[in-house]
Amino acid sequence: MDLYNREIVDCTISDTQDTNVILDTLNQLDLLQGALLHNDQGSVAYYQTCIEKDIIRSMSRKGTPADNACIEWFHSVLKSETFYLHKWRNLTKDSMTNIVKKYITLYNETRIQQQLNDHSSVQYRKLVA
């Protein structure tokens, strides 16, 4: 999530939450040199990749979700506006992935936010550019 306009810039969906997921996501991002990247996972491979890409690392403290409040808020909104409206047992991994991808598009391009003067994330980014 870009904290400037709350735009979701990338998403990786996986069966496991491990270093490979983080590295895959990190390698997909096209970040400027010196960009600040916040993550709640750290590993030697993550550290090395950040150094190679000249990325400044920001890490959450263990067991402190408030350090990552913006993305925690997004996950809560995602679940309440999508998954809580469906029957969990009927969803396959592919249908869940499609729901998340469609919601991120809706969230970025259509869903207005009061904090962004009633613009969507993409509208706000274009407005101030």
Q: Which of 122, 127, 100 minimizes the C-alpha distance to 111? A: 122
Q: Which of 92, 99, 58 minimizes the C-alpha distance to 78? A: 99
Q: What is the pLDDT of residue 41?
A: 62
Say if residues 101 and 109 touch (Cβ distance below 8 Å): no
CA distance 13 to 54: 25
Q: Please, which residues have CB within 8 angstroms of residue 91's CB and are 6 or more apart in sequence?
A: 83, 99
The residue-averaged pLDDT of 92-116 equals: 93
Say if residues 62 and 34 touch (Cβ distance below 8 Å): no
Question: What are 43-77's pLDDT values in tens digits?
Answer: 888 889 888 989 888 877 777 778 788 888 999 99
Residue 20: pLDDT band with limits 50, 70, 90: confident
Residue 6: pLDDT band with limits 50, 70, 90: very high
CA distance 67 to 59: 8
User: 68: which 2 tokens?
Assistant: 């990552």
Q: What is the pLDDT of residue 91?
A: 81
